Structure 1
Amino acid sequence: MLDKLGFLVAVARERNFRRAAEACGVAQPTLSAGIKGLEAELGVLLVHRSSRFQRLTPEGEKVVAWGQRMLADTRAMRQELQVARGGLAGHLRLAVVPTALALVPLLTLACRRRNPGIRFTILSHTSEAIADMLASFEADAGITYLGNEPLGSVRSVPLSTERYRLVVPAGSRWSGRSSVAWAELAGESLCLLTPDMQNRRIMDRLMQQAGVEPTATVESNSIVALIAHVRSGEWMTVLPESVANTLGSAAGLQAIPLVSPDAEYRIGLVVPQQDPTPPLTAALLAAAQEATSGAALF
């Protein structure tokens, strides 16, 4: 049954039979037959379909939720058995908000020092997508904002405090400033992250608090694209301190503290609530706690 549940979960995620079959590494007829077999076994229709996927039935939605939990528990069981056979090894999937990507190597390094058999896949997503991926067990862990927008049922370890910098071209009229007030951004040519990013929603709120109507002449979900536009000399952007220091200095840009208000937001590692905690997830949590206790890493 687990294979069939995996087919159904993939279809629910992809909303497409062909892509779901590719994700499962099977032919599309095999996937379709598996779902039909699951329907016959459970005695309910799970998927409305004609020649293509239409939607899940209400019963299908319930089975997907159960299937996600069962598959996650099975993965955790296999990890436990791997530990018993000879040490911790396996694959961790991390979903990270773009503004926190600069923190990831510090966390993965701390984890790999303890457990060299662990591999990582790191994907950049919005905070809302990360919450959904944790709820559906599509990601083992996330790095996102804490205490700002709902995250669901998760465990968390604070990693850093996000402070904001105005990133400008070297030699601009802003160069040499020790700080810039948010109110001074009124009417300036800004390139910012897209509104689906929590960082952008934070920026908008801070500007509104300073009496500035948030406007951006360029929006992108890529920080690299923002940096490239600032380097052109026609724009400036607002980025977290860690990103500004990592990318801005490499691009020859200047990062200036933004004040009035002096804003800080917490970034942390979040993992789904599972009992018992899967061994790989527990290793990642332990590495995060060890790294943050040293303070120097974050």
Structure 2
Amino acid sequence: MLFRQLEYLVALSRERHFARAAQACFVSQPALSEAIRKLEEELDVPLVRRGRKYEGLTPEGERIVVWAQRILADRDALKNEVDALRTGLSGRIRIGSVPTASGAVSLLTGPFCAEHPLVTVEVRADLQSEEILRQLQNFEIDAGITYLHRGLSEHFQSVPLYEERYVLLTTAADGLALPTTATWADASTLPLCLLTEAMQGRKVLDGLFAEAGLRPSPRLETDSVATLFAHVRTGRWASIVPHTWLHVFGVPHGMRAVPLVEPARSVPVGLVITTREPGSVMARALADLARHTDVAAALERLPADPGPA
């Protein structure tokens, strides 16, 4: 059995198409198909349901994919561990983030890259909370930044980073009618643009509206926090955004951001990695850095006002 055969099987499971899997592995489709066929012969079980086109993996194939992902992850962890002992950390670390927390990722990746100059970073910043945990379990990412739930599985360990709270973002003209804070009832009367209902950040907002006996009726929904800012800037919309994004954009010229109260709530956000040992040396290093980085304090320091446009 060769690592290459396991890589091809994992790629096929992910892409669900022979040609795309071959392209992802930088080989020809016949080469990929032949390698998987030989793996089936060696294991003496069918792995792929074959017809005129790809029809999915067999139950045996689905189970073998799980083992293949573990074996490949352990291989990569071993190589990274040896490299770290010889020359320090090197290679690539993959970080997944929920969109609402993606503005805070740089507070970890910046010092991490400074401390480990041979490491490159890949950030996937548009993942849902459940998808982050799934990708961690399947070794598709090394670490995730997401909402911390009380019922987090024992398969994961977390490092709290900060408490996410919320501000009402309006144009300056609309905001003049508001005091230094706004209520969720105030927000509900405005033409809102919000994140889509499938996203955890939106579910949090819906829960806070419900506490106030309200149900939001946004006129526009998106999966991008940056898009929310862009729409508010037009003067036709208001939005509710995590305070962390003020650390990225400040309060743009012509806009106003006020804390939301009644209820005033916050939601914990943290770094999540797997508890599996020995695990990823990259993930362990990032978690150690997170424990010694005051992300919450950094998020309170807003950029300077950009001044007139």
Measured against the shorter chain, the TM-score band is over 0.9
What SS is found at the alignment partner of 2:292?
helix
Q: Answer whether contact 1:185 1:212 (CA < 8 A) is retained.
A: no
- Label 1:206 to 1:295 Cα distance change in 2 as closer, same or farther (>3 A): closer
1:146 Cα deviation after fit: 0.3
Say if 2:26 is the partner of 1:25. yes
- Normalised by the length of structure 2, the TM-score is 0.91
Q: Secondary structure at the match of 1:234?
A: coil
5 Å-filtered alignment, 1:206-245, equals 206-245=208-247
Equivalent residues of 2:175, 2:256 under 8 A apart: no
Map 1:60-71 → 2, pairs under 5 A = 60-71=61-72
What is the CA distance between 1:116 and its match in structure 2?
1.4
The yes-or-no answer on 1:247 pairing with 2:256 is no
Equivalent residue number for residue 135 of structure 1: 137
Indicate yes or no: 2:15 matched with 1:4. Answer: no
1:281 to 264, 280, 283: 283
Secondary structure in 2 matching 1:297: helix
Identity %: 40
Give structure 1 stretches of 5+ with no counterpart: none
Aligned residue identity for 1:267: V
Matches within 5 A, 1:1-298: 1-124=2-125, 125-147=127-149, 150=152, 153-174=155-176, 177-247=179-249, 249-250=251-252, 252-292=254-294, 296-297=297-298
Q: Distance in 2 between matches of 1:176 and 1:211?
A: 21
Q: Quote the Cα distance in structure 2 between the aligned partners of 1:148 and 1:172.
A: 38
Does 135-144 or 165-174 show the bigger shift?
165-174
Which amino acid is 1:20 matched to? A
One-letter amino acid matched to 2:232: V
Aligned-pair distance for 1:112?
1.9
Q: 1:150, CA displacement in angstroms?
A: 4.9
Tell me, yes or no, if the aligned pair for 2:196 and 2:221 is still in contact at 8 Å. yes
Change (3 A) 1:260 1:148: farther
Measure, in 2, the Cα distance between the counterparts of 1:151 and 1:230.
38
Partner-residue secondary structure (3-state), 2:56: strand
The 8 Å contact of residues 95 and 142 in structure 1, kept in 2 or not, is answered as: yes
1:13-33 Cα distance to aligned partner (Å, 9 max, x none): 111222211221212211111
Q: 1:175 to 1:224 in 2, by over 3 A?
A: farther
Deviates more, 1:176-185 or 1:57-66: 176-185
Q: CA deviation at 1:163?
A: 0.4
- 1:56-100: CA deviations, max 9, x gaps? 111111101111111110000001111233221110001111111
Contact 1:131 1:151 (C-alpha < 8 Å) held by counterparts: no
User: CA separation in 2, counterparts of 1:217 and 1:149?
Assistant: 33
Q: Deviations over 1:208-256 (max 9, x none)?
A: 1111112111001112221111111111111100113433523542111
CA distance in 1 between partners of 2:150 and 2:264 (Å)? 16
Q: What residue identity is the alignment partner of 2:233?
A: R
TM-aligned CA deviation for residue 257 of structure 1: 0.4
In structure 1, C-alpha distance between the alignment counterparts of 2:218 and 2:63, rounded to whole Å: 42
Equivalent residues of 1:145, 1:265 under 8 A apart: yes
Rounded to whole Å, the distance in 2 between the matches of 1:42 and 1:174 is: 70
**Conservation of the 8 A alpha-carbon contact between 1:168 and 1:230:** yes
